[in-house]
Structure 1
Amino acid sequence: MDKLQEQLCGLLADICHSEEVRRNSDIHLFDTGLLDSFGVVELLLALEDKLGLQVPISEFDREEWATPRQIAAKLEAFQ
C-alpha cells in the first residue's frame, strides 16, 4: 500500500467509522453502506484539508470511487 492509499484509508476509516477499510482496500464502500452522499462530501473536504488535494465534486463518479483502491487511483491525478 502506497502512502496516498494509506492516508486515504485513514480518512475513510474515520469517516466510515470502520477499520475494515484499512484491512480491505477492495471493499465496496457504497454496497456495504460504509459511505453515503454525506460521507462523500466529508471525504472531499477531508482530502482538501488533510492532504491538500482539491477534487471537484464533478470528478466524483460513484462507480469509479467505489473502493479505497479505486479512489486512491483517481486521486493520483490530483497530486
Structure 2
Amino acid sequence: MKENVIEIFEEVMDTDEIRDNLDLDVFENEMLDSMGIIEVLLGIEEKMGLSLQPTDLERKDMATANNLISFLETKIG
C-alpha cells in the first residue's frame, strides 16, 4: 500500500520528493492541485482497484502520503 501511494504521488507530481518525506504537505507546498487530486484518485483505482470519488475524502486525507495511506487502510482494511 505504502509503495503504491508513493508511486502514485510521484507519477502525478513528477517528483520523488514525497519519497523522502511522507509527511510533506502537498497542498501547502503547491505540489497538487484539483486536477492532480483526480489523477491521484485514478491512480488509486488503477493500482489498487479501489474506486473513490473526490467527495469520499477530505483535503486532509490527501495532504500527505502518510495521511492517504492511513485513509486507504481504513477503506480497504
Length-normalised TM-score, structure 1: 0.88
Residue 65 of structure 2 corresponds to 68
Root mean square deviation, CA, Å: 1.1
How many residues are matched?
76
The alignment-based identity, stated in percent, is 29
Structure 2: state its 5+ residue gaps. Answer: none
The ranges of structure 1 where at least 4 consecutive aligned residues each deviate by more than 2 angstroms after the TM superposition are none
Give the C-alpha shift of residue 43 in structure 1: 0.6
Contact 1:55-1:78 within 8 A present in 2 as well: no
Length-normalised TM-score, structure 2: 0.90
Please give the alpha-carbon distance, in whole angstroms, between the structure 2 residues aligned to 1:8 and 1:74: 11
Structural mapping, 1:1-79, within 5 Å? 4-79=1-76
Structure 1: state its 5+ residue gaps. Answer: none
